[in-house]
Amino acid sequence: MSNTTPLVKGFFDKRTFSIQYVVADPESRKCAIIDPVLDFDEKSGSTATHNADAILDYVREQGFEVEWILDTHPHADHFSAARYLKEKTGAPTAIGEKVIEVQKLWKGFYNWPDFPADGSQWDKLFAEGEIFTVGTIPARVLFSPGHTLASITYVIGDAAFVHDTLFMPDSGTARADFPGGSATRLWQSIQEILALPDETRIFTGHDYQPGGREPRWESTVAEQKAANTHMSKCATEAEYVEVREARDRTLPMPKLILHALQVNMNGGRLPEPEANGKRYLKFPLDVLEGANWG
């Protein structure tokens, strides 16, 4: 096996339609965990670590050593398990450096004047174009904003982890209407991803199973260019922006956006326990003005 071809294992979370990844170097047996999910039930307020523990079990079974815990962006539809996995493995956490811009925006929404909007909640903030490795496999960071201000793509060997930019070809592309989002910037980010070699494997972060099909999360650049329901039909940026913005106007906000951002912009840390030993989420009313109720 080529030392530029990592082993990739996807873990699908049915509750949030999210895919989490273990990306491993078969030579060194070192790996990275990408976009892990901390289980949360908004109806009962319960948290759990079922997803993260399944990842740890797999890592242990394969004899891997966790070298990185990576997030592509601060997620709006699930809690990040990065902090929990760091406690369990000791591996450093990382995200793109533009997370600071998300923190600055959302600390105002949450009325957290003392919140440190400096990215210090992660061990590493990646700059655009920065190079790193997973074991012996070369990796680099693409800045991929549009869905959020801070979204990045990890290109690890021949695999690109694009999260909320492209979905599977039958599902199109991600929304761009969150605070700080931009359909224009998303188009530009996708163009950079589609400029990768045609054989590059594309791993997406969500799959909503159109038509009730089984979940899927792997495609290639060539497949995306040929068949993506947005990118194969929109020949220009202006055409794409019109289609994307029209679609976004019909979408309700993710049900966990106000729950999740306060955890995820804090590196996956849950709120500190209060005097009674319980943790409490805080989210503002009427801050996402104009949102579609769905």
DSSP character string of 123-141: SEEEPTT-EEEETTEEEEE
Q: What percent of the chain has pLDDT over 70?
A: 99
> For the segment 52-109, what is each residue's pLDDT rounded down to a tens digit?
999 999 999 999 999 999 999 999 999 999 999 999 999 999 999 999 999 999 999 9
**Residue 136: CA count within 13 A, CB half-sphere:** 9
Give the residue from 248, 263, 215 showing the smallest Cα distance to 76: 263
> For the segment 8-23, what is each residue's pLDDT rounded down to a tens digit?
999 999 999 999 999 9
pLDDT at residue 3 in the model: 61
pLDDT at residue 294 in the model: 76
Report CA torsion sign: 60, 66, 72, 76: positive
Q: If you average pLDDT over every residue of the chain, what do you get? A: 96
pLDDT at residue 1 in the model: 37
Q: What is the DSSP letter of 291?
A: -
What kind and span of H or E run contains 22? strand 18-24
**Confidence label for 290 from pLDDT (cuts 50, 70 and 90):** confident
pLDDT at residue 95 in the model: 98
Within 10 angstroms of residue 215's Cβ, the number of other Cβ atoms is 15
> For the segment 19-49, what is each residue's pLDDT rounded down to a tens digit?
999 999 999 999 999 999 999 999 999 999 9
- Which domains, and CATH codes, for the chain? 7-168+197-218 (3.60.15.10)
